[in-house]
Amino acid sequence: MGLRERKKQQTYQSVSDTAIALFLEKGFDNVPVAEIAAAAGISKPTLFRYFPAKEDLALHRFSDHEDEAARVVRLGRAEGVAPLPALRRHFLAGLDGRDPVTGLNDDPRVRAYHALLYGTPSLVARLFAYQGRAEDALAAALAETGGEGVEPRLAAGQIVAVQRILAEENWRRIGAGESAEAVHAGAVEAAEGAFAQLVVGLELYA
């Protein structure tokens, strides 16, 4: 990545962080875009060149995860590892590393951000769009390893749904007051069981 691209990415991150801080303080619907631009030290038109919609400011942290499953599948293929074992390995590593995407993270800042996302209807709707693009990317990666017609897309939908449900259960338990450390063993067991079920139903990618 060149210097110009690095500076651009830094601007994305800085503006998004400024926006999220304001959203957490005042609520998503109570912060106008003009206030975010002023706080970030840029003009409103410049902000919209980086983020076409206000919701994108809050969801920028998800941008790197949109094609994550697809990248994991392609990396696994290069290593001679089938898609499901590669995805299972990656998810379990995320649990061990307390990756917020797995739901196994009890940092108060992460919990506050999660509450912001799922407590704001327009952000929830935007998340569904991100999920759809994640499924499309994963389906394309699975198609490269085998399968015809709708088969890779059906598999991608099942895999993404399983990962989402596992994360939601982890968030639920942490939201109920359990620590990430206390939830970890059960989260690993649930993930192992879920991927075992996927192997039975998606033998082609196992």
Per-residue confidence (pLDDT) for residue 6, from 0 to 100: 82
How much is the pLDDT for 166?
98
pLDDT number for residue 1 = 59
Question: What's the pLDDT score for residue 9?
Answer: 83
Residue 63 amino acid letter: S
What stretches in the chain show pLDDT beneath 70? 1
Confidence (pLDDT) at 79 = 96
If you count them, how many residues does the chain have? 206
- Do 76 and 85 form a contact (C-beta atoms < 8 A)? yes
Q: Would you state the structure tokens that stand for residue 102, as one six-digit string?
A: 């797995």
Tell me how far apart the alpha carbons of residues 114 and 108 are, in angstroms, rounded to a whole number: 10
Classify residue 83 as exposed, middle or buried by CB count within 10 Å of its CB (0-12, 13-18, 19+).
Answer: buried
- Cα 19 to its chain centre, rounded Å, is 19
* pTM, to two decimals: 0.87
How far apart (Å, rounded) are the C-alpha atoms in residues 99 and 163? 13
